[in-house]
Structure 1
Amino acid sequence: MIAPLLELHDLQAGYRDVPIIRGVSLSVEAGRIICVIGPNGAGKSTVLKATMGLLRIFGGDVKFAGEVITNVATEKHVDMGIGYVPQVANVFASLTVRENLALSVRQRKQQTVALEEVLALFPELKPKLGAAAGALSGGERQMLAFARCLILKPRLLLLDEPTAALSPLLVGNVFKKIAEIAALGTAILLVEQNALRALEISDRAVVLSNGENAAEGTGAELLANSRIKDLYLGGHGASPAAPREPARAASY
């Protein structure tokens, strides 16, 4: 059995003194995609921000690679190998694509990967290196946000609503890239409103309601659960997920 890379145990966190999540527990292994779904206001994004050290944790623990990192500074999370792609403001619009990527590695001590290796994963960015990030399409900006994180070679990637406001075609492209990144050995904790598509690519999922675990299981189990579909997926079914590649050692 693979040891978890990230473990959240009874996590309680919020803004100022107001708790938003009230006891969330989950784990993520290398090369696996764990999805967090639930209604608006359930605390999904708060889970990511607390994990990344952006919010004060009131109770519970965050463990990464067996080490407790509860309330450790965000920059330490980055140095340990945790990457975070927020939903908005995830690229510098006035800088070029090349400058965005170069800025990610500046003054960082951890191992990085060559620009060519990242562009091999995101070939659509190669002809855009000299373009301003603000001139990119929505899908291209999301690819750049992923690339900015991956150039730091994270072991864990936290993704907050990566398909928000994208067209159906671009949504499919983003989910395909997420699966490719996981297949390279990166652990992924994904928060996503497009629950049907997210569950199709996820190894496991946690459903949040009112800041707490309401249900969990494999993506396939939750897609087949009529109660979950009625409460959280709008009662719609989903096509069976295509099998993902087994995890390999990271090489991007």
Structure 2
Amino acid sequence: MLRIAIMGAGRMGSLIRATAEAARDGAGGARFQVVAQVGYDPAEAARAEAADVLLDFSNASCLDAALAYARSARCAVVEGTTGYTEGQMEQLRALGRELPVVWSGNYSVGVAALRHLVAQAARELPGFDVEIVECHHAAKADAPSGTARMLLDEVTAARDGAVRPVYGRSGMCGARDAAEVGVHAVRGGTVAGVHTVMLLGDDEEVTLAHRAASRQIFVNGALEAAQRLAGRPAGFYTFDELMFS
């Protein structure tokens, strides 16, 4: 049985807990034991019981508390919080030199496949313009989404870095240049997540999209990542490495 702690008591954190507590192995035994769930109080994290894996789906402001807990418990970390600065990401990479850590802006296997398809299309259609549009629920705090940033990274790598991200457009912005990649955020309602990548050429268009019907797909992927990460040597892993290697 894998002992897990959850950082974050919002919708994702609550769903992770409910799913983990209901999960059973082939013999009918519990797959997980939730030893702690904490919200935004660093003192609460400091008092929490040690786990094998910490799943952090909280807020960028909670990173220090998550790092302190991981170092105290000497546990693996499944990091799913988005909106981190580059400095905060470097803190996570530094933690990976001590402990096994995985960070992803999206724990859906379908989104992982979408990233691979986007990279292939961007390479094989070099003359096509690329636009990325993401839509999320009204309460989402960061924009663009972590997934949209990951998709942008795939396009950037496929185009050898010769891209210029443009985050929305307004006014007399002039004609689009060939290096632009538009990244657009839409917010409203209770949308779990929709990501669309359009590759627009002369007289033809390729559209790749992923639609999440609920947050359950992200929870399932995060718990699977936790099982695969536990017991690994220290390192800063990708979701792809855990799921497909």
TM-score, normalised relative to structure 1: 0.30
Tell me the TM-score normalized by structure 2.
0.31
Higher relative contact order, chain-length normalized (CA < 8 Å, sep 6+): 1
**Structure with greater Cα Rg:** 2
